[in-house]
């Protein structure tokens, strides 16, 4: 596991009382990617979709405003943004006067792009608009969780190689049993994971065992989803693949990494735990 003891993560928290973009703490993606043998050109594309549910600022005149923001950080950006620092940064806006929603989007995009080292897309939604845009539900697919299997290991295992020949299928498989852990605090991170692919049919029992094996694994959300994607690419040889992790929120933020081979398949819904 990558060592993050040389960072400021996990230190005592001082909550901000004024807007401060310096609170954003970038972490080089290369630090975690080296652990799974990723170097040079990526074998996938994708982004990390953050949802900020606790977004508030002051309009001119001092009346507080609230909204929900979606922030898309490209997977090829040099850095991820540490989630607690992201929360503190958003809290620093609570007493900041901003002219309007458009100006807030511009401010967020500029600050977050600087931290990520690449252009970050930001959209701010009024609450009623977001509720209509992102309904809670499940996409059409098959949940692999209800299998009568015995599991006795919760350390990250290897995905068993799947048949390289045979029936080609196009399907969406998902599981609500993914749990990973923060590499700094060891706090559990809960997620549903969606695997949409075209290729040789996956062994659902082997896939479930593999996903559950992350239960004691320590790494950031983005890097866990990348490790799963790389294993699926290497062991299953799909023609097309999209892996989406929808993590439950912490501190008003959820992180939803998506990695794809070929054209990405987007999920236009929130998981019920979000």
3-state SS, one letter per residue, for the chain: CCCCCCCCCCCCCCCCCCCCHHHCCEEEHHHHHHHHCCCCCCCCEEEEEEEEEEEEEECCCCCEEEEEEEEEEECCCCEEECHHHHHHHHHCCCCCECCCHHHHHHHHHHHHHHHHCCCCEEEEECHHHHHHHCCECCCCCEECCCCCCCCCCCCCCCCCCCCCCCCEEEEEEEEEEEEEECCCCCCEEEEEEEEEEEEECCCHHHHHHHHHHHHHCECCHHHHHHHHHHHHHHHHCCCEEEEEEEECCECCEEEEEEEEECCCCCCCCECCCC
Q: Which of 182, 219, 224, 236 is catalytic?
A: 182
Q: What pLDDT does 153 receive?
A: 85
Q: Do domains 21-133 and 142-261 have the same CATH topology?
A: yes
Q: Which of 6, 48, 143, 189 is catalytic?
A: 189
Task: Please confirm, yes or no, whether 145 is among the known catalytic residues.
Answer: no
Domain formed by 142-261, architecture = 2-Layer Sandwich (3.30)
What band does 32 get if pLDDT is binned at 50, 70 and 90? confident
Per-domain boundaries in the chain: 21-133, 142-261
Q: What pLDDT does 35 receive?
A: 84
The structure's pTM equals 0.91
pLDDT tens per residue across span 2-25 = 666 555 555 667 888 999 999 999
pLDDT tens per residue across span 117-152 = 999 999 999 999 999 999 999 989 999 999 999 998
Domain formed by 21-133, architecture = 2-Layer Sandwich (3.30)
Task: Please confirm, yes or no, whether 189 is among the known catalytic residues.
Answer: yes
């Amino acid at each position: 596991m990558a060592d993050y003891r040389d960072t400021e993560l996990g230190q005592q928290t001082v909550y901000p009382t004024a807007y401060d973009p310096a609170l954003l703490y970038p972490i080089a993606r290369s630090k975690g990617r080296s652990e799974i043998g990723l170097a040079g050109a990526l074998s996938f594309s994708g982004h990390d979709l953050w949802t900020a549910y606790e977004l508030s600022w002051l309009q001119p005149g001092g009346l507080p405003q609230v909204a929900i923001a979606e922030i898309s950080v490209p997977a090829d950006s040099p850095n991820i943004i540490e989630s607690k620092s992201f929360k503190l940064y958003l809290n620093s806006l609570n007493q900041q006067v901003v002219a309007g929603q458009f100006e807030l989007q511009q401010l967020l995009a500029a600050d977050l792009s600087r931290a990520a080292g690449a252009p970050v897309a930001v959209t701010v939604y009024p609450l009623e608009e977001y509720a209509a845009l992102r309904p809670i539900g499940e996409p059409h697919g098959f949940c692999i969780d209800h299998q009568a299997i015995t599991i006795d290991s919760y350390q990250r295992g290897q995905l068993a190689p799947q048949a390289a020949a045979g029936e080609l299928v196009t399907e969406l498989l998902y599981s609500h049993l993914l749990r990973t852990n923060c590499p700094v605090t060891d706090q559990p991170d809960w997620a549903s994971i969606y695997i949409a692919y075209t290729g040789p049919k996956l062994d659902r029992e082997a896939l479930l065992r593999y996903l559950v094996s992350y239960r004691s694994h320590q790494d950031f959300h983005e890097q866990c989803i990348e490790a799963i994607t790389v294993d699926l690419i290497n062991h299953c040889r799909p023609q097309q693949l999209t892996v989406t992790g929808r993590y439950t929120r912490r501190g008003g933020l959820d992180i939803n990494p998506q990695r794809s081979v070929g054209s990405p398949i987007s999920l236009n819904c929130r998981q019920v735990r979000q």
